[in-house]
């Protein structure tokens, strides 16, 4: 068995035992580091003793081994880094996104036998038992059907659904035990939402429905491609789709400057359509969820497990906030931020910080053509939050549905920065945030 292959422990007691061993490992490492600090004449601190490189590695390895909710909660907590988490811990959580152990080949066969029945292999001319991707909920295999169709088969790890609630609770207990999170931050709403989100993601019939809805929205738009679902080979535990063979989206950086900016504008346009037009948002920021097909110049979209719906009233509140951040006064921004849920009965210093954060985050909407390459926007936002926490130790997490949008948009920002794109974000936003009668067709960015 490969060192990256491991059967998933599925019993509640077994997973609790794994979490207990992890806590013991971390405690042991913390004691050892504290002793080393004392030997050097230093006063040990909990943070420095806990978050040693050895402990961070140990934590990442254990969560990767457990997969499921234990790994996914780590990813969700990294959505709003904002210096809520120690930087070493945030870096670890970011690395967990696509770093799960794989199922042994026998387990793969067992899942497929249960989903498709004995003799399922006769439907294929080729099926690769080695996955092409492995993450927290499941892994993906490539194959070719008898009729010649190339497919991607997404297989869920056994026992995931049964482990979700207890895993989330156990991870929360672990974080509290080691005081990884600041005491003023209440993550209970996030954890409750994480459970629901994970139950949704663990039902591949819901992902198939989201995928098909996206395909319907984008029908006839040659800029995007969504894989077709193979219904007869899909269910709760297995999702079979058309195999898309584009290159990683980062490969766009090797194209002409004009093409880079066009693709970047298409990515921003899609994000605005998701949030404001459809209220159906794919919130996973992983770059691997986008491919670029050079032959037809389209963006290929993958992985709709983390899709969330936003009702009309929520989208209206977000439109109002964007309008206020771009053209309104500070009082307008405060009122809109309260409507969204960023602030309530909070201290004035905190409210001023939120205004500064929102104006900084929406900076690309106030430029005729925003240059993402070399922008220090993310660092400036981080500096504002650090200053707030150092000064007042006060803060709240935004509403959970907004955190998922943060996750989406932060990933998009990083991708645009990677591509060093130049995008007229304001023109794209106006096409989707204005009232229906005011909306105008979006033109391509005028070239300098």
Contact (Cβ atoms closer than 8 angstroms) between residue 266 and residue 252: no
Region of residue 150 (left: phi > 0; alpha: psi -120 to 50; beta: else): beta
Both tokens assigned to 342: 């960023």
Provide the pairing of β-strand 298-301 with 224-225: parallel
Is residue 284 part of the annotated active site? The answer reads yes
Q: How far apart are the first and last CA of the chain?
A: 57
Which residue among the candidates 80, 167, 262, 284 is catalytic per the annotation?
284
Beta strands at 307-309 and 370-371: parallel, antiparallel or unpaired: unpaired
**Mapping DSSP to helix (H, G, I), strand (E, B) and coil, where does residue 316 land?**
helix
Token pair, residue 245, equals: 């063979």
200-206: list long-range contacts, CB under 8 Å, 24+ apart: 200/305, 201/72, 201/137, 201/305, 201/306, 202/137, 202/156, 202/160, 202/161, 202/164, 203/161, 203/236, 204/154, 204/156, 204/234, 204/235, 204/236, 204/237, 204/238, 204/239, 204/305, 205/234, 205/235, 205/236
Residues 6+ positions from 100 with CB-CB distance below 8 Å? 64, 67, 71, 134, 135, 136, 139
| Contact present, 167 and 68 (Cβ < 8 Å) | yes
Q: How far apart are CA 166 and CA 169, in angstroms?
A: 5
CA distance 368 to 364: 8
In the chain, how many H helices and how many E strands?
A: 16, 13
Phi first, then psi: give them for residue 312, nearest 5 degrees.
-60, -40
Angle at 121 between CA 120 and CA 125, to 5 degrees: 135
**What residue has token string 């309260």?**
338
Question: 92, exposed or middle or buried, with CB in 10 Å at 0-12, 13-18, 19+?
Answer: buried
Active-site positions read 284
């Amino acid at each position: 068995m490969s060192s990256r292959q491991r059967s998933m422990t599925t019993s509640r007691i077994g997973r609790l035992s794994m979490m207990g061993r992890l806590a013991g490992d971390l405690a042991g490492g913390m004691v050892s580091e504290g002793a080393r600090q004392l030997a050097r004449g230093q006063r040990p601190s909990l943070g420095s003793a806990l978050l040693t490189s050895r402990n961070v590695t140990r934590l990442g390895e254990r969560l990767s081994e457990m997969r499921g909710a234990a790994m996914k909660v780590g990813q969700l907590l990294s959505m709003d880094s904002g210096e809520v988490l120690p930087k070493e811990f945030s870096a670890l959580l970011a690395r967990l996104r696509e770093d799960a152990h794989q199922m042994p080949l026998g387990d793969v066969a067992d899942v497929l036998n249960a989903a498709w029945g004995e003799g399922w292999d006769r439907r294929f001319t080729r099926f690769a038992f080695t996955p092409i991707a492995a993450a927290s909920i499941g892994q993906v295999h490539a194959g070719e059907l008898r009729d010649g169709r190339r497919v991607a088969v997404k297989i869920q790890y056994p026992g995931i659904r049964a482990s979700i609630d207890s895993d989330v609770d156990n991870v929360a207990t672990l974080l509290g035990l080691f005081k990884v999170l600041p005491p003023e931050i209440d993550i209970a709403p996030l954890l409750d939402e994480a459970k629901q989100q994970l139950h949704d993601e663990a039902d591949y019939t819901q992902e198939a429905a989201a995928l098909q809805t996206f395909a319907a929205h984008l029908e006839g738009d040659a800029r995007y491609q969504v894989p077709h679902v193979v219904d007869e080979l899909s269910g709760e535990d297995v999702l079979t789709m058309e195999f898309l063979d584009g290159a990683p989206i980062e490969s766009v950086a090797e194209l002409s400057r004009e093409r880079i900016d066009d693709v970047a504008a298409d990515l921003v346009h899609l994000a605005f359509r998701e949030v404001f037009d459809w209220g159906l948002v794919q919130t996973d920021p992983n770059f691997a969820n986008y491919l670029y097909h050079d032959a037809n110049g389209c963006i290929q979209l993958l992985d709709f497990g983390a899709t969330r719906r936003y009702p009309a009233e929520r989208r209206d509140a977000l439109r109002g906030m964007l309008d206020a951040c771009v053209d309104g006064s500070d009082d307008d921004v405060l009122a809109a931020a309260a409507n969204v849920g960023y602030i309530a009965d909070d201290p004035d210093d905190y409210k001023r910080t939120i205004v500064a954060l929102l104006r900084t985050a929406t900076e690309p909407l106030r430029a005729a053509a925003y240059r993402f390459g070399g922008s220090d926007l993310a660092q400036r936002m981080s500096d504002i939050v650090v200053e707030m926490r150092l000064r007042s130790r006060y803060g709240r997490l935004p509403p959970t549905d907004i955190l998922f949008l943060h996750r989406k948009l932060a990933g998009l920002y990083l991708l645009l920065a990677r591509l060093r794109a130049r995008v007229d974000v304001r023109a794209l936003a106006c096409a989707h945030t204005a009232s229906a009668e005011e909306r105008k067709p979006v033109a391509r960015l005028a070239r300098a």
